[in-house]
Amino acid sequence: MTARIIGTGSYAPERIVTNKDLMKFLDTDDEWIRERTGICERRVSAGEGTSDLAIHAAERAITDAGIDPKEIEILIVGTCTPDNGFPSAATDVQRAVGAVNAVAFDVTAACSGFIYGLHIVQSFIRCGIYKTALVIGAETISKVLDWTDRGTCILFGDGAGAAVLRADETGVIRTLAGSDGRKGHVLGCQARTMDNFLTGRKPEPGFMTMDGQEVFKFAVKKVPEIVSQILEESGIGREQVDHYVLHQANIRILESASRRLKVPMEKIPVNIDRYGNTSAASVPILLDEMNREGRLKRGDTLVMAGFGAGLTWGAALLKW
């Protein structure tokens, strides 16, 4: 028995912010952003929180799967930008969709959050503990960006994607996940200022900081490495994979993966031009778009892979 994706959904805030919009207040350039990242525009939330985005994506995935929310036994939200320290975004979603029988919790693995969620539910479903799961990746990264820092703010966008999984004979073949805390400093965001007792100050929220080149070097090495690993461990050749659904962080990272894996770009779908990097939401948003456009056929072989702050990474190999 394994987990099979039986429904997908996604949601992004309405407001589109183009590179030219950024040029109105930031020393940056449309051409520079397109060439270095592949991003043309991103969505930025106006008043909607991470839980709101997650709820919309979840409702669409539940409708697509055609299940009763009461059937969901485990509900995971991968997010590094929850609205609250507690309660979790997952319990917000649980309440909104009526998944009253689920255990609901968040996973913090930055951009790998959705794949970590898949890794966890696959383990529970494989050993027969749960039959039906909802995994969501949802972020309002815009609220942790320093909008005066052109090295980070141009890259990210807000959004959410979700998948309903159910125990079945076919579906997920293998998942893997890993982390390396020694590299935590290259991409981070302090949650709240420290020492408020000593200073008498109110806690203030932190902002994202990033060593872009270090993250880039990590990503171009790690993505081909984990894709190769999961395929080798499963005895499946690269040419047998129909779609490589990879985290959308930078078009140059995707092109590098294409070269290193010797996989044509036609098999690596791209939507970073329209969303930027939506962190944990990027893989499930892309998956949902492909599903709704009819690009996924029953029996297709998919590899998904993500990487992010932590450092973290994860991959999933599955039959559609």
Site for ligand COA contains 146 (CB under 6 A) = no
96 to 135, contacts with ligand COA by CB under 6 A?
Answer: 111
Say how far apart CA 226 and CA 228 lie, in whole Å: 5
What minimum distance in Å lies between the beta carbon of 213 and ligand COA?
5
Which CB sits closer to ligand COA, 87 or 151? 151
Say how far apart CA 245 and CA 288 lie, in whole Å: 11
Catalytic residues: 111, 247, 277
Site for ligand COA contains 34 (CB under 6 A) = no
What minimum distance in Å lies between the beta carbon of 159 and ligand COA?
14
Which CB sits closer to ligand COA, 50 or 250? 250
Angle CA 209–83–285, to nearest 5: 80
Instruction: Name which of 10, 5, 299 is nearest 132 in CA terms.
Output: 5
Q: Which residue is nearest to ligand COA (CB)?
A: 212
What minimum distance in Å lies between the beta carbon of 83 and ligand COA?
21
Q: How far from each other are the two terminal CA atoms of the chain, in whole angstroms?
A: 15
Other C-beta atoms within 10 Å of 138: how many? 40
What minimum distance in Å lies between the beta carbon of 278 and ligand COA?
10
Which CB sits closer to ligand COA, 130 or 156? 156
Site for ligand COA contains 3 (CB under 6 A) = no
Angle CA 177–135–110, to nearest 5: 50
Count of residues binding ligand COA (CB under 6 A)?
20
What minimum distance in Å lies between the beta carbon of 91 and ligand COA?
26
What minimum distance in Å lies between the beta carbon of 316 and ligand COA?
17
Angle CA 310–312–315, to nearest 5: 170
Considering only 159, 308, 310, 314, the residue that binds ligand COA (CB under 6 A) is 308
Instruction: Name which of 255, 241, 256, 262 is nearest 304 in CA terms.
Output: 241
Considering only 37, 51, 81, 312, the residue that binds ligand COA (CB under 6 A) is 37
Which CB sits closer to ligand COA, 76 or 189? 189
Site for ligand COA contains 55 (CB under 6 A) = no
Say how far apart CA 316 and CA 288 lie, in whole Å: 16
Q: Which two tokens stand for residue 97?
A: 């969709």
Instruction: Work out the burial of residue 202: count CB atoms within 10 Å of its CB; fewer than 13 is exposed, 13-18 middle, 19 or more buried.
Output: exposed
Coil/strand/helix, residue 179: strand
Say how far apart CA 90 and CA 117 lie, in whole Å: 12
x-marked contacts with ligand COA along 228-267 as a string, rule CB under 6 A: ---------------------xx-----------------
Q: Can you give the binding site for ligand COA, defined by CB under 6 A?
A: 28-29, 32-33, 36-37, 111, 150-151, 154-155, 210, 212-213, 215-216, 249-250, 277, 308
